[in-house]
Structure 1
Amino acid sequence: MIRRSSCVPFPVDAAPTIKSEAPRTRSLRASAVVAALLLVSVHVRAASKFTDPEDGAFDLSNLLLTHRGVLPVPTLITEPAVGYGLGLGLLYFSLPKKSADAPDDAKAPPNITGLGGFVTGTHSWGAGLMHFHSWDDDHIRYLGVIGKVGLHLNYYGIQNQPRAYQLNGIALVQQVLFRLGNSHWYVGPRYTFFDASTRFDASVPAGIREFERDQRVAKGGVVVDYDTRDNMFYPSSGTYAEFEADLARGGLGSSTNFQEQTARGYHWIPLSKSWVLGLRADTGFSQGNIPFFAQPYVSLRGVSDAKFQDNNQLTAEAEIRWNVTPRWSVLGFGGVGKAYGHLHSFSDAPTAFGFGTGFRYLIARKLGVTMGIDVAHGPGQNAFYVQVGSAWR
C-alpha cells in the first residue's frame, strides 16, 4: 500500500519497521526473541567487537561502524492482508564526515543503506533498496528508495467488508532536503512514482470511482521538516514534524490528477531520568481523482494497514516508556483514528483503535539503535511487530 509518499518497504525517515501479526504463538515468539538477546549478550560478551567498553554489555556499534558490518532484521509475517511469510532486512551504517569547522558536539545522523524483502504464503512479495545520506554537517539530507511489490490485499469499502484484489508495481522515491541556516528546519522537493496494476478477484466494489486496472501515481511536492530529536531511531526528547504538499499531474507521469497534503508530528517529553512520554498526531487529506489504493489511511499498531481508508484521515497516539536500565526499556501505547470524506462522513466513519505494550534493547549505543517487539490489540485482532527503534516514522 502507499503510505503518504512512500510506496516501498522502507519508511521515509529511514528507520525501518518490520510488521507482523500472530495468533496464539505470538507470546512464544516474543519470548524466543528475549531469550536470544539474553543468550547472545552473555556468550558474545568476550568478543571485543561485540561489546561496549563503556558498560561491557552486548553491543553492535563497533561491528556496524568500525568493522563494516550489517544489521540483519528478520521477521515472521502473519499480516491478515497478505498471509503468513518471512521477511529480512539488512542495514549498513556509516558515519558522515565532519567538516573541520564543525562544533565538537555536532551530531549528524548516520548514513544508512538498506536492502530488504519478504514473501508470504498467499504469493505476496516485495523487495526494496534504500539509501539515506547527509552532507555538510547535516545541512543536506538525501533519501532514495526503489522497490517492487506483488501484493494480495483487501479493500474494505462502504460496507467495511473485505474484497480481495491484487496490487503489483514498481515504486521510486527521491527526496533532497536543505537545512535553513543552522536552524532545525529543512525544506526541499520530493518526487514519488508508482507504476501500478490492480485487479479485483470479483466485481469492482461500490465506492471506487473511475477504476482503471493500470495506473501511474506520479507526484511532486514540497517537504518541510522540523527536527530536534536527540536521536533519529529511538528519541528520548525533542520533536519531529513533517509537512508535505503534493500535486499529481500528467506532466509528472501520473495517469490521474489529484492533490494531497499530509502533516505528522511526534514529541517526546522526558518526565524523569527513567520515564519518557511520547505524543503523536498524524493527518492526511486528498482532493481530486486519487486512486483507491493511494488514499490516506489510519496507521496504528494493532490495526491492519489500509483497513480504515478514505479521502482523509486523522490519527492520535500516546506512548509511555520506562527505561528499566540504560539498555532495556518497556513501553505501553494506545491510539485512535478515523478515515472519512468519501465513503463516510466524519461522524459516521468507524473509529480505529489500537493499544498494547512492548520492549526495546539498546543494541548499538553509538548509533542509538534499539531492537525489540511490540504486542498490540485492535479491532478484532491481536498483533506483534518486530521493531528497529521507535514505531513512529
Structure 2
Amino acid sequence: MMHTAPTLRLILTFWLFAACSLFVIAQQTAHSSGSEFEGDSYGETFAQESTSVQNQVSAGVAAAAPHEKKSKEKKKKSEKRGSFVVAPLPISSPAIGSGIVPVVGYIFPITRKDKVSPPSVVGAGGLITDNGSRAWGLATQLYFKENGYRATVFYVRGNLNYDLYGSGEFTGFKLPLVQTGEAFQAEFLRRIVWQFFLGPRAITGNSLITVEPNMSKQPLPPDVGLHTQLTGIGFRLIRDTSPNRFYPTSGTYFNFTSDFYSPDWGSKYTLQSYRASFDKYWSLSKSQVLVSDSYGCTTGGKPPFYMNCIYGSSNELRGYVAGKYFDRHMVTTQVEYRLALPYRLGVVGFGGIGEAIPGGDELLFQNNSFLPAGGTGLRLLLSKPYHVNLRSDFAWGKDGHTFTLGVGEAF
C-alpha cells in the first residue's frame, strides 16, 4: 500500500501562502503610510518603518498650520490611490523542498471613506524550489462595506515534485512523482451575527500524475498516468476575535469549510470534504503567548488518493512529511508557547498529538497508533507594527524530523 500527498491541495496551499504573505505586506504598507496609500516599494516600506511615526507626527503639526492646509489637500489629490509591492518570500517544505515564492501586488482601498475594511490586494506569485517544483498564480482579495463583505478569487497552475511513501511490505520505499495541474477558486463571504462570516465558494481543478523515469518496480496508485478533473461547490464559516491576525495574543479563531464534488457539475469523482479548526490565544505577559490549536478533517464518498486528509499538511502536525500518513479522517491537537525577545527575535516551543483514521473504523483511535510531534523554532520580526514574523521551525515526529520556513505564525 502506498501513501502520498494530495498535490492539488499542495498547489492551493502554495498560493494561499503567497496570498496571505502578500496580505501581510499589504497591512504593513497600509500602516507605514497611514490612511492614505503611497506608491512606495516593499523594501522602502521596511527601511522607513522606524521613522513612520515621526513622519506622521510631523505631518500632523504641519496640518495644524492654516497656511499649509491647502497645499496638503492638493498633495493628497495628487497621491496615488494604491501601492505596488514586490517581495521574494522564503519557503521550506518537507514535501516540495526549499525555495522562494516571489510575489508582486497592488494594494488599495475600495473607497477612501472606508476606514474599517482592511486594504484590498490584487497580485501575482510564483513558486521555485530546489526539487524542481514550479508554479505561478493570480489572486485578488477584496474587502468592502466597512468589512461587511469579503471576496477572494485565485487561479494557480504548476507542477509539483513529491515522494510516494510505501507501507506494509513496501515500508522504507518511496517513489518520486510529478503532478502537474491547475486550480481556480472563488469565495464570497458576508458578515452575519456575532462576528461570523458566511458565504459560498466554488473550486475547479485538474491534474496529471506521472512517475519520474528509472525508478524501481513498485505498485502505483490508481490515478498515476490519468488526467483527473475535480469540480466542487461549498461554503465557509469563520469567526475571528483576535486583535491581530498575524500575531494573536488573545481571542479565538474558528474556521469551517465544506466542499461537495459531483459529476453533475463536471467532476470525475463524487466526494465530500469537511475541515474545521479552532484556535485559542492566551496572553501570559507582554512578551509571552500560549496558543492551542484543534483540527479535524473528514472525507466522504469516493475521493482520489490525493484528496484524503493528509497528516503533516497545513502545520497539522509539524514533524511529519505531508503525505506519509493520510486517510479518510484525521484529528490533531497541539499547543505552542511563544516568547518575544529583544532585537526583533523570538523563540517558540510546541507539541501535539493526532492521528489519521481509516474510513472503516467506527470508533476514533481504535486499532490505530497515535502520531505525536514536538519541536522548537526561531522568529525574526519583519513588521513591528503588526508583529509579522519570519518563521523557522524544527520538529520531530514518530519516525523523522522536518524543517519549515515561512512568513507568519503556524496558527
Query: What TM-score do the two structures reach when normalised by structure 1?
Result: 0.76
- Structure 1 gaps, min length 5: 18-43, 57-64
- Structure 2 gaps, min length 5: 1-5, 23-42, 56-79
- Counterpart secondary structure, 1:7: helix
Q: How do 1:191-202 and structure 2 match up within 5 A?
A: 191-200=202-211
- Counterpart secondary structure, 2:48: helix
Q: CA deviation at 1:310?
A: 0.7
Partner of residue 322, structure 2: 305
- Counterpart secondary structure, 1:231: coil
- Counterpart secondary structure, 2:409: coil
Partner of residue 226, structure 2: 213
Aligned-partner residue type, residue 306 of structure 1: G
Candidates 190, 193, 200, aligned match of 1:189: 200
CA pair 379-238 structure 1, distance change in 2 beyond 3 A:
same
Matched, 1:262 2:275: yes
Residues of 1 paired with 2:108 and 2:379: CA distance? 23
- Counterpart secondary structure, 1:15: helix
Partner of residue 119, structure 2: 110
Matched, 1:169 2:181: yes
Q: How do 1:279-358 and structure 2 match up within 5 A?
A: 279-299=292-312, 300-325=317-342, 327-342=344-359, 346-358=365-377
Candidates 221, 243, 250, aligned match of 1:237: 250
**Contact 2:90–2:99 (CA<8 Å) still a contact in 1?**
yes
**Contact 2:7–2:179 (CA<8 Å) still a contact in 1?**
no
Q: Deviations over 1:147-167 (max 9, x none)?
A: 112122223355355333321
- Counterpart secondary structure, 1:338: strand
Aligned-partner residue type, residue 372 of structure 2: F
Partner of residue 27, structure 1: none
Partner of residue 31, structure 2: none
Residues of 1 paired with 2:219 and 2:208: CA distance? 16
Q: CA deviation at 1:281?
A: 0.8
**Contact 1:5–1:192 (CA<8 Å) still a contact in 2?**
no
**Contact 2:15–2:156 (CA<8 Å) still a contact in 1?**
no
Residues of 2 paired with 1:211 and 1:197: CA distance? 7
Partner of residue 14, structure 2: 9
Q: CA deviation at 1:119?
A: 3.1
CA pair 200-53 structure 1, distance change in 2 beyond 3 A:
closer
Residues of 1 paired with 2:392 and 2:88: CA distance? 12
Matched, 1:374 2:393: yes
Q: How do 1:39-188 and structure 2 match up within 5 A?
A: 49-54=48-53, 68-70=83-85, 72-75=87-90, 77=92, 79=93, 81-83=95-97, 85-90=98-103, 92=105, 94=107, 96=109, 107-156=116-165, 158-159=167-168, 161-181=173-193, 183-188=194-199
Q: CA deviation at 1:263?
A: 0.7
CA pair 325-348 structure 1, distance change in 2 beyond 3 A:
same
Candidates 228, 233, 257, aligned match of 2:241: 228
Partner of residue 20, structure 1: none
Aligned-partner residue type, residue 191 of structure 1: A
Number of residue-to-residue matches in the alignment: 349
- Counterpart secondary structure, 1:221: strand
CA pair 362-153 structure 1, distance change in 2 beyond 3 A:
closer
Partner of residue 290, structure 2: 277
Residues of 2 paired with 1:366 and 1:295: CA distance? 39
**Contact 1:303–1:353 (CA<8 Å) still a contact in 2?**
no
Q: Deviations over 1:37-92 (max 9, x none)?
A: xxxxxxx99x9724244499xxxxxxxx9993525243364x55445x52223254
Residues of 1 paired with 2:86 and 2:405: CA distance? 14
**Contact 1:99–1:136 (CA<8 Å) still a contact in 2?**
no
Aligned-partner residue type, residue 50 of structure 2: T
Query: What TM-score do the two structures reach when normalised by structure 2?
Result: 0.73
**Contact 1:12–1:143 (CA<8 Å) still a contact in 2?**
no
Aligned-partner residue type, residue 51 of structure 1: S
